[in-house]
Amino acid sequence: MSEGDSNFTIERIPLDDNPDFNDYLDQHNPVVEIEGGIYRPSEVLNAIDPDAYRSVLEEYRIHEEERFKQLVLNEFPNPIAYSFSMAENGFDNERHRLDCLRDAWEALINLLYAIVIGESLSLGLSLREAKVITGPTEQTPVNTKHLTTDTPHVKIGLMAGILRMTAEQGISMVCAEFVTDEILSALRALKKDRNDVAHSTALSEREAHEQFIKDANIFLPLLRQVTALQHVRLLRFQKTASHALDYRFELFQGHATTKRFTTLTLNTTQLQTCAHYLNSDNIVVHVGEHIYRVSPFVYFVERGGETRLCLYKKIHSDQYLYSVIGQAAQVTLTDSTLTKQFDEVKSLLRPRGSK
């Protein structure tokens, strides 16, 4: 049907579908005044030229997606940002790219899990009443194997169970601000999708590319829901600074693996709650006003003057298997510090009120 046909209509995008874009238009264009009436630029453009509205919206979405990707690359914690950067710019082929994206997804699960367990320890919680929630009616009491699991869906289920338990008990957890039911549901969806698809080495380049697009269309919106991670800092204590309450830390932020440092000024309340974490054996997380340990699930190795973060995979024959950020090979660590830290994790199953 030609545009000259009197029956021709252009489908108009509902104005309420894109409030952020409308705000952008309204902030960058003057209001429209007609016979004393004042109209928002976004509603005027949408009403009189829906094609132009659609075109500018598409450009805005492309720009915003690129801006958000840069935010992830530069501000998100290193385990997520590094794998995401490889999926964006460091892949060898489409199969490798798909694996890098999936590494970023697994890094997100592992980091959120470390944060939830770390905060549980810092609050002195007992998880004896918590459940592993793996479905609407599927709930299992937590046991030691769940706490040290290498299975993503169990980690997701345990996070859901801990957050539900604390909410029912009226306990406030800082991590609940960005570890939500919506996030956990989206992580389950990605996990199911990965299980449904053969390993990337079994896919053709075309199939791997199509699967990457499918996974990215789930993963990027999920990352937008955890934008608060841009303010979460992974740190390793270095030394006290010049002032009594100033502490110097190695910082693991953004995709780069080069050493970076930052100095935090802690107040007396923070120091009282985190002083026992302030040593070089721990990776700690700084969330808002709170600092607590995320080791042993996020740990480190030192090689050639560099500190590389590593993410816990599993325990095998009393040894701890980790994946090292920025390295293909996994490492096996036998460390008395790790044994002590895992014992503390298992203590979450002690009866309430016991030491």
pLDDT score of 135: 80
pLDDT at 6 over 80: no
Give the pLDDT band of residue 2 (cuts 50, 70, 90): very low
Instruction: Say which residue, 4 or 201, is predicted with more confidence.
Output: 201
pLDDT at 70 over 50: yes
How many Cβ atoms from other residues are within 10 Å of residue 54's Cβ? Answer: 15
pLDDT at 314 over 90: yes
Whole-number percent of the chain with pLDDT over 70: 93
pLDDT score of 22: 95
Mean predicted confidence (pLDDT) in 214-239: 94
pLDDT score of 1: 40
Does the bond joining 19 to the residue before it have cis omega, within 30 degrees of 0? no
Instruction: Say which residue, 242 or 183, is predicted with more confidence.
Output: 183
pLDDT score of 304: 80
Tokens of 198: 């053969």
pLDDT at 5 over 80: no
pLDDT at 143 over 90: yes
> Per residue in 146-189, pLDDT tens?
999 999 999 999 999 999 999 999 999 999 999 999 999 989 88
Burial, 63: exposed, middle or buried (Cβ in 10 Å; 0-12, 13-18, 19+)? Answer: exposed
> Per residue in 276-309, pLDDT tens?
889 999 999 999 899 999 999 999 999 888 899 9
Burial, 178: exposed, middle or buried (Cβ in 10 Å; 0-12, 13-18, 19+)? Answer: middle
Q: Which of 73-77, 202-206, 218-222 has the highest mean pLDDT?
A: 73-77
How many Cβ atoms from other residues are within 10 Å of residue 271's Cβ? Answer: 14
pLDDT score of 202: 81
Which pTM does this prediction carry?
Answer: 0.88
Closest CA to 42 of 59, 55, 58, 24: 24
Alpha carbons 154 and 276: distance in angstroms, whole number: 30
pLDDT score of 290: 93
DSSP 73-109: HHHSBHHHHHHHHIIIII-SSHHHHHHHHHHHHHHHH
pLDDT score of 305: 83
pLDDT score of 130: 95
Contact 158, 345 (CB under 8 A): no
pLDDT at 256 over 80: yes
Length of the chain (residues): 355
Cβ partners under 8 Å of residue 46, min gap 6: 12, 13, 15, 53
> Per residue in 17-40, pLDDT tens?
999 999 999 999 999 998 888 999
> Per residue in 84-133, pLDDT tens?
999 999 999 999 999 999 999 999 999 999 999 999 999 999 999 999 99
Backbone Cα Rg of the chain? 24
